[in-house]
Amino acid sequence: MATTIDARGLSCPQPVLLTKKAIDKGEFPITVLVETVTSRENVKRLGEREACQVIIQEVEDEFKLILTK
Q: What is the pTM of this model?
A: 0.95
pLDDT per position as a tens digit, 11-55: 989 999 999 999 999 989 999 999 999 999 999 999 999 999 999
Provide the number of structural domains found in the chain. Answer: 1
Query: Residues 65, 31: contact at Cβ < 8 Å?
Result: yes
Domain that holds residue 7: 3-68
With b for 16 or more beta-carbon neighbours within 10 A and e for fewer, the 23-44 pattern comes to beeeebbbbbbbbbeebbebbb
pLDDT at 27: 87
Q: Which of 58, 41, 48 is nearest to 23 (CA)?
A: 48
Q: In the predicted model, is pLDDT for residue 1 greater than 90?
A: no
Q: What is the CATH number of the domain that holds 25?
A: 3.30.110.40
